[in-house]
Amino acid sequence: AQSVTQPDIHITVSEGASLELRCNYSYGATPYLFWYVQSPGQGLQLLLKYFSGDTLVQGIKGFEAEFKRSQSSFNLRKPSVHWSDAAEYFCAVAGYSSASKIIFGSGTRLSIRP
């Protein structure tokens, strides 16, 4: 069965510092992988996705993520965070079948220190 683990529940970084949010997945084949962001009380917005090709994926708002098959990881990075990046971040996995469901991790809450 597919699953996603986000080991960090809450991370605090200083504004301007670099960021890396961890995501590990479990799936029997190469999965589709996603990162979403959620502002308080809102729905989720897609930051980026990976399904083939270049393992380094660029997304919106200056985020990028790298797919590492050997480590079953899809970590999200940003070189310099802004106060507006404070939010909840979710990693998700889906299979290649048209009927595959999308499973989310438990999320990482990001706080920004002024």
Partner 1 sequence: SQTIHQWPATLVQPVGSPLSLECTVEGTSNPNLYWYRQAAGRGLQLLFYSVGIGQISSEVPQNLSASRPQDRQFILSSKKLLLSDSGFYLCAWSGSRGVGDEAFFGQGTRLTVV
C-beta closer to partner 1: residue 58 or 80: 58
How far is it, in rounded angstroms, from Cα 33 to Cα 12? 24
How far is it, in rounded angstroms, from Cα 21 to Cα 65? 9
Given the rule CB under 8 A, which of 22-30, 55-63, 71-79, 105-113 is the region that contacts partner 1? Answer: 105-113
User: Residue 103, interface with partner 1 (CB under 8 A)?
Assistant: yes
Give the contacts of 105 (CB within 8 A, at least 6 positions apart): 4, 5, 6, 23, 90, 91, 92
C-beta closer to partner 1: residue 15 or 32: 32
**Interaction site with partner 1 (CB under 8 A):** 6, 9, 32, 34, 41-46, 49, 51-52, 90, 92, 94, 96-107
